[in-house]
Amino acid sequence: MPLVRVAVERGIEGDGLTYASPWQDICVGERVVVPLARGRSRGVVVAVGGVELLDGLSRERVKEVIERSGRGLPPQLVELARWIAAYYISPLGMVLSSMVPSSVKERTGSRRVGVLGRADAEVERSILADMRFTPSVRDAWEGIVAIGPGQWPLEPRVLARTLGTTMGPINRLIGAGLLVRTEREEVRTRGFEPASPQLGSDERPEPNPEQSAAIDGIGEELDRFGVHLLFGVTGSGKTEVYLRLIERVIADGRRAIVLVPEISLTPQTSRRFEARFGGKVAVLHSGLSASQRHRQWQMAMSGEAMVVVGARSAIFAPLPDLGLVVVDEEHDSSYKQDTLPRYHGRDVAIKRGQLAGCPVVLGSATPSLESWANGREGKFRLWAMRERAGAGSLPKVRIVDLASEQPWGKGGGSAGGSGRGPLMIGATLRGEIGRTLKEGGQAILLLNRRGFATFMHCPGCKWTLSCSECDAAMVLHRGRDLPRGEIVRCHHCRAERIVPSVCELCGGRVLGLGAGTQRVEEEVRAILQECMGEEGARDALLRLDADSVQSIRALHSGLERFGSGDARVLLGTQMIAKGLDFPNVRLVGVISADTALHLPDFRASERTFQLVAQVSGRAGRGAHPGRVVVQTFSPDEPAIVLAARHDFVGFAERELAARRGAGLPPEGRMARIVARDQNHAKGLSRANDLAETLRAAADGEAGVVVEGPTPCVMARIEGWHRWELLVRSPGRRGSAGAIQRVLGAARRAGKLLSDSQTGVDVDPLTLM
């Protein structure tokens, strides 16, 4: 029996466990079931060999693999999983498990279907030499000969229907041996299916000079690995560049993966690719039903799909002959997974391209500072597209100081009634909304906070209602389906409670302060009624956020409603800030540009710039010029001023200089470790022990420092006390390797494990 090493799905450290295989043809990447302790576990074969896999064990103690559970992953993806496990300090089995959707493991929606194929040519000649045909069988055979080889195998009844005959002649040909019956797996899908593409397959806009330069330049390097940063302003036609490059890849017999950051972007993006490439596009994201996801995965594995489009995990699609990887909106934080394994989809995409020997294209109007620094230094090849495609121009942006403009009116409230507070839509934005509606245009309004009021506060004794399990204020939500029409929720642990009628400390009146999308919705409805009348305003407003969008169906139908023009104003959180392309949007309003600006996180300015710049880019994509109103209490903040000027280069150079002085990424490298425990004293003791281990490991690494432990910004979530340690190394060159060596030493010592009590985040995107 050959020996195999299996990485089991449970979170076991190391390179896997050794088993004996009853099958000689078992191979790397195959999914198997193995005995583990007193039970069994699924896993993936990561090595096949002989006695070298025993690692000192006696052959007699090696248990056998119980069963083979189907095709798993190509060896190249197993190699990618090894890299992820090592770089992001994650158990290999857990990484491999996350690569394969549970619907594929469970074979959801699959069935065995009998199909027919033709016998080989020599057998055919032998049978035909002696066979006598009846007229109906002869007609059927002549039709079979005319069917192209690429259309086999076929189900018997499908074949009969194609030939316009009954099953009688088909069964006669099967009995004679001219048709051979086999079985194949078929996946039947259930669940919501998005509407068919609205774009025509012949819609091929002519590239402008900047697009042509990128297409031709990257196209010359399709036969080798390299990273290309496509820096194009919003509306510059980056998607058309992707499409043209993929056409070249497919013409060469290879395939492509396209990553998009949000499910909300997938409908529009996938439709553009489906319109160009027909039924050869597989779409992978978490909004699919289990059977749909299984079907799309099978399309990728079988080679039926030439293009895979999807969110972060689509990078693990088992496409053969991979020829191009595209990461659209590469700066987006949703590419970073916040649970084990904590990988970054963009960086994994680069590694996969390297393993496949194919180019990787990163596209963004506001690149991450890491990618921008790599492009500026020549590590990535930089392609700039500074003009909008077609006749469009970048919108004019106006910054409004809310401190001088914000009016007062009916604002926050309590269970007992409404209070007086500032309105969230100032006079300038209110006037622009009215102007846009009068012109027949549409508007997008962004506020990156959901709910009605962001906290409940007693002005008398300064009490604030906090979650009992988290160090966070509870958020007021309103709705017809809620008790008494409103409720407070924690956005971290999702706890809910009835809104207190009076202050729990002094018995005074409680007010809902701060504003979320629900409160702004009330203001917008009032504006719409003033401009359009009550009847016209009834269906003119659409709100899209995590509260109003409970399913992928609701999201798709909402976007389709806005795209058709039935809704005139789209209000939402960051899910509407990027990637969407609606030609009639003439106005974008940023309700508050300050929501993330003053958070205790070194990336706060970068996120603010990206959000303002990205949502501004939704305006003016059609024949009419766009206008943007940015409301803020910080009108002189560089991130906001430079975003209004569409000056990413100026912002990036300013921010990189500040990061360089502080040794912060990308001008330094970082890993964040969060130790947590439900017992405060035990958790602090564990954090201190881990800090000592890391400092000992860092002694031999010049420049590596270990900071902490200190309480996290959010010191308690869901009843768990949390402490943070930072492992930092200044300077861009060689620092990543130094941090990896420190983390690796602590991991080999058994002190640094990614488990329920310790979270290791390499290259963190947030310190919150």
Q: Quick one: fold of 110-187?
A: Arc Repressor Mutant, subunit A (1.10.10)
Task: Give the separation between CA 630 and CA 175, rounded to whole angstroms.
Answer: 75
735 pLDDT band, cuts 50/70/90, is low
Superfamily of structural domain 209-293+301-385: P-loop containing nucleotide triphosphate hydrolases (3.40.50.300)
Tell me whether strands 720-730 and 668-677 are parallel, antiparallel or unpaired.
Answer: antiparallel
Cβ atoms of 267 and 559 closer than 8 Å: yes
Task: Tell me how far CA of residue 71 lies from CA of 43, 96, 109, 470, in angstroms.
Answer: 12, 13, 16, 43
* 509 alpha carbon, distance to own chain's centre: 43
For every residue of 674-692, DSSP letters joined together read EEEESSHHHHHHHHHHHHH
Residue 610 reports pLDDT greater than 60: yes
Q: How far apart are CA 89 and CA 215, in angstroms?
A: 37
CA pair distance 266, 284, nearest whole angstrom? 9
In this prediction, what percent of the chain has a pLDDT beyond 90?
Answer: 54
Whole-angstrom distance, CA of residue 75 vs CA of residue 73: 6
3-state secondary structure of 653: helix
CA atoms within 13 A on the CB side of 484: 14
Residue 732 confidence class, pLDDT cut points 50, 70, 90: low
Q: Please give the average per-residue pLDDT across 419-425, as a whole number.
A: 67
CATH fit for domain 663-762, picks 3.40.50.1370, 1.10.357.10, 3.30.70.1230, 3.30.70.600: 3.30.70.600
Report the alpha-carbon distance of residue 113 to residue 254 in Å, rounded. 29
Looking at every residue in the chain, the average pLDDT score rounds to 88
Boundaries of every domain in the chain: 3-105, 110-187, 209-293+301-385, 396-452+516-657, 453-514, 663-762
Common-topology check for domains 209-293+301-385 and 396-452+516-657:
yes
67: helix, coil or strand? strand
| Range with lowest mean pLDDT among 10-19, 640-649, 709-718, 759-768 | 10-19
Confidence of residue 513 (pLDDT cuts 50, 70, 90): confident
Per-residue confidence (pLDDT) for residue 407, from 0 to 100: 64
**356 has pLDDT over 90:** yes
What are 490-512's pLDDT values in tens digits? Answer: 999 999 988 888 898 898 888 88
Does residue 536 sit in helix, strand or coil? helix
> For the chain, what is the total number of helices (H) and then of strands (E)?
22, 31
Beta bridge partners of 410: 420
Q: What is the DSSP string of 203-256?
A: --PPP-HHHHHHHHHHHTTTTS-EEEEEEE-TTS-HHHHHHHHHHHHHHTT-EE
415 confidence band (pLDDT: 50, 70, 90): very low
Indicate the angle between helix axes 135-146 and 156-163, nearest 10 degrees.
100
How would residue 97 be classed by pLDDT, with cut points 50, 70 and 90? Answer: very high
- For the domain made up of 396-452+516-657, give the CATH fold: Rossmann fold (3.40.50)
The whole-angstrom separation of Cα 368 and Cα 603 is 10
User: Encoding tokens for residue 475?
Assistant: 């958020």
pLDDT (tens digit, 9 = 90+) per residue, 258-291?
999 876 666 677 788 888 888 899 988 777 788 8
> Residue 489 in contact with residue 456, Cβ under 8 Å?
no
Contact 585, 445 (CB under 8 A): no
CATH code: domain 3-105 is: 3.40.1440.60
Cα 273 from chain centroid (whole Å): 18
Q: Give dist(CA 329, CA 730) in Å, integer.
A: 27
Report CA Rg, the chain.
Answer: 29
Which residue in 594, 593, 592, 588 sits closest to 576, CA to CA?
Answer: 588
For the ranges 93-102, 263-272, 374-383, the maximum mean pLDDT occurs at 374-383
Neighbours of 227 (CB within 10 A): 21
Q: What is the pLDDT of residues 146-202, one digit of tens each?
A: 998 767 888 898 899 989 999 999 999 999 999 998 876 666 665 545 544 443 344
Q: Are 361 and 218 in contact (CB under 8 A)?
A: yes
Q: Tell me how far apart the alpha carbons of residues 369 and 492 are, in angstroms, rounded to a whole number.
A: 28
pLDDT at 391: 65
- Locate 508 and state its tokens: 């005074």
* Sequence-distant (≥ 6) Cβ neighbours of residue 43 within 8 angstroms: 6, 7, 8, 9, 16, 17, 31, 32, 33, 34, 93, 96
Place of tokens 């700066």: 331
Q: What pLDDT score does 410 carry?
A: 47
CA distances from 230 to 187, 307, 366 (A): 37, 20, 10
pLDDT at 414 over 50: no
